[in-house]
Amino acid sequence: MNRLKIWGYALSLCCGGLLPLGAQQTALKFNTNKKFKIVQFTDVHWVPSNPASQEAAERMGEVLDAEKPDLVVYTGDLVFGKPAAEALDKALEPVISRHLPFAVTFGNHDDEQDMTRKQLYDHIKNKSGNLTNTVKGLSGVTNYILPLKSSDGKKNAFILYVFDSHAYSHLPQVKGYDWIKPDQVDWYLKNSAAFTAGNGGQPLPALAFFHIPFPEYNEAAQDENAQLMGTRKEKACSPQINTGLFAAMLNAGDVMATFVGHDHVNDYVAYWKGILLCYGRFTGGNTVYHDIPGGNGARVIELTEGERSFKTWEVLKGDKIINEVNFPADFKRGE
């Protein structure tokens, strides 16, 4: 596929249909200081009528007021009880009430209550600030791309990929969690190639967000030579099937880091073959297992326009900051 055809493919597939009808038409761009800040909330696990969920709301509000992000990304498992619509509304309320842009990808528990993934998506697609989207015909519901514009608004400067990592295996011979499908990997590769072509052949820096960690999280954590920072209290609950998304990202050369949730007592980052594999910080209250030292919180990611680098840290109760790292500067030793 030549460069013009690739670029045209991206314009038609992702850029032209980037925002769903009725969604807040928020342009994401670097500020005049060439910075862009993302807060990642994960595993809110909201249960209506359970007072423990208020701990999640308090922490989200505290983090948002302290960090004042440009974008909030929820990486799955917002909903953990019925009615699902109420749980979803409550999980999103701290962000919507502050008039912040937000993006959602679903986890394995969101559609276990009384709404399907499509119904959950339809419920939020017209909410103020919503940037969550879907690609028709692609496996899953919450697959989409969020380009960040340069501070002058004239060009794409950074790319955020969001994937639906599904829920549970549908194959009787394969137990456990589902996996990102080959058509999603192909979708990513085609768009990545298009953005690279549109940038004069140089990959645009990018991050990726999804719920269930792919198998490389375990490969990295189990390698004694890999650099790992943060808390690891359980093995990554990854799918048994590997469809090659990590390898695709490695070959494309754009994605610097991936951000997942799912495993509530892990918050580490692990440097693996040039890509930083990151967990968010468990955000929920005492509605599900959550015995990670320091309690619930959020991950913050700060980008700088024009640089293939980022800073990330976690925020806990009382605006306590832990595990601050700079990528790639803090992970270059031994190379």
Q: Note the pLDDT of residue 26.
A: 63
**What is the C-alpha R_g of the chain?**
18
Q: Which residues contact residue 182 at a Cβ distance below 8 angstroms, ignoring those fewer than 6 apart? A: 243, 244
Residue ranges, the chain, pLDDT below 70 = 1-26, 333-335
Q: Before 147, cis peptide (omega within 30)?
A: no
Give percent above pLDDT 90 in the chain. 91
CA 90 to chain centre: 20
CA 14 to chain centre: 17
Q: Distances in Å between the alpha carbon of 92 and those of 10, 21, 63, 103, 105?
A: 30, 19, 14, 10, 13
Q: Before 328, cis peptide (omega within 30)?
A: yes
Residues 236-290 pLDDT 10s: 999 999 999 999 999 999 999 999 999 999 999 999 999 999 999 999 999 999 9
- Closest-CA residue to 30 (of 254, 255, 305): 305
DSSP lists the bridge partners of residue 71 as 38
Q: Note the pLDDT of residue 333.
A: 60
> CA 132 to CA 68: how far, in whole Å?
20
Domains and CATH numbers, the chain: 3-330 (3.60.21.10)
- Asked whether 309 and 207 are in contact (CB, 8 A), the reply is no
Q: Before 69, cis peptide (omega within 30)?
A: no
Q: Where are the beta strands (DSSP E) in 226-274?
A: 227-229, 255-260, 269-272
Q: Where are the beta strands (DSSP E) in 153-212?
A: 156-162, 206-209
Q: Note the pLDDT of residue 19.
A: 37
Q: Does residue 185 sit in helix, strand or coil?
A: helix
- Closest-CA residue to 229 (of 267, 255, 202): 267
Q: Note the pLDDT of residue 24.
A: 41
Query: Which residue has tokens 């601050």?
Result: 324
> CA 189 to CA 160: how far, in whole Å?
14
Query: Which residue has tokens 């990545």?
Result: 192
DSSP H or E run through 71: strand 71-75
- Closest-CA residue to 234 (of 285, 289, 275, 286): 289
- Quote the pTM value: 0.93
Q: Note the pLDDT of residue 332.
A: 75
Residues 145-177 pLDDT 10s: 999 999 999 999 999 999 999 999 999 999 999
Q: Which residues contact residue 116 at a Cβ distance below 8 angstroms, ignoring those fewer than 6 apart? A: none
DSSP lists the bridge partners of residue 51 as none
